[in-house]
Amino acid sequence: MLQRVIVHPGFHKTGTSSVQRALRAGRTDLAPLWQIGLEEDFPDAAAAARAYSLRRDPLDLGLFQQALADWIETLDLAGAEGLLLSCESLMGEIPGPPDGARDYSAGPDLAAALVEVLHAGFGPDVAVTLHLSTRDGAGWLESLHWQLVRGGLVDERFGAFARRMRGHADLAVQARAIAAAVAPVPVQIAPLAEMTGPEGPLGPLLDLMGWPAARRQAFQALPRVNARPPHVDRLHLANRFARINRRVEGREAAKAVKQRMMARIWARARRTRAQNEEQT
């Protein structure tokens, strides 16, 4: 019988991609005691949450709840003690695009709606816990800008982007607003800088699950997702991508230019590494 539900709904750029990659790889190791839900498992709910964060239309919030409830009905939880959801879209669209969301101010509404659906679907006695991963404001803005220029969603240099977004970069404040909205449901707020264990950002979730240390070998931290080439000026590269987004017409054309640039940079990094290895 299902006893616990843990929800990891973000935030973007706080190690969430690494967590989800590890969970995809480790589903069979966690089953049957823990079942895993990722964005690809409930795409309609994720899309409705993103829509609500942009429009704040109550209809989108209702669609979010209905899509999540429909997904819950499809689950086969025989033998499962817990369900773990990890999907940053549950708190809305990624912040930062000039015509999109700037923060997670939709998060309290979405979190409260999510908890309501979980209790309706699994009963009022199921233990629900939220886990929110955070990051220092400067590091988050820099990583967010890189993600957005890669995707062609912004064309600003980092300095301009940071000035526009600096009032929205305190993730701890936004996490506390979400925690207040779902009280008395417990919310664990975990800074990325403190996730230094061998499992990386997945570690705090494994701790919440009570997953034994003897069975964590399969969850040793994988190489970082969305990493940039080593020994490259990160801001300079991001600003070059922003310039491409400004100058190259069409997102797909700009994407192709950036892909060619990255291929050259990675090839240079591999050559440098090979030369260094030959000299040692």
Tallying the residues shown for the chain, one arrives at 280
Predicted pLDDT of residue 224: 64
Cβ proximity of 50 and 89 under 8 Å:
yes
d(CA 150, CA 148): 5
Predicted pLDDT of residue 160: 99
In SS3 terms, the chain reads as CCCEEEEECCCCCCCHHHHHHHHHHHHHHHCCCEEEEEHHHCHHHHHHHHHHHHHCCHHHHHHHHHHHHHHHHHCCCCCCCEEEEECHHHHCCCCCCCCCCCCCCCHHHHHHHHHHHHHHHHCCCCEEEEEEEECCHHHHHHHHHHHHHHCCCCCCCHHHHHHHHHHHCCHHHHHHHHHHHHCCCCEEEEEHHHCCCCCHHHHHHHHHHCCCHHHCHHHCCCCCCCCCCCCCCHHHHHHHHHHHHHHCCCHHHHHHHHHHHHHHHHHHHHHHHHHHHHHC
Predicted pLDDT of residue 227: 67
Q: Whole-angstrom distance between the N-terminal and C-terminal Cα of the chain?
A: 57
Q: Which long-range contacts (C-beta less than 8 Å, at least 24 apart) are formed by 252-255?
A: 254/152, 255/152
What contacts 48, CB < 8 A, 6 or more positions away?
Answer: 60, 61, 63, 64, 67
Mean pLDDT per 10-residue interval, the chain, length 280 residues: 96 97 94 98 99 99 99 96 99 98 98 99 98 98 98 98 98 99 99 95 97 88 67 92 98 97 90 78
Q: Whole-prediction pTM value?
A: 0.93
Four-way CATH pick for 4-219: 3.40.50, 1.10.287, 2.60.40, 3.30.310: 3.40.50
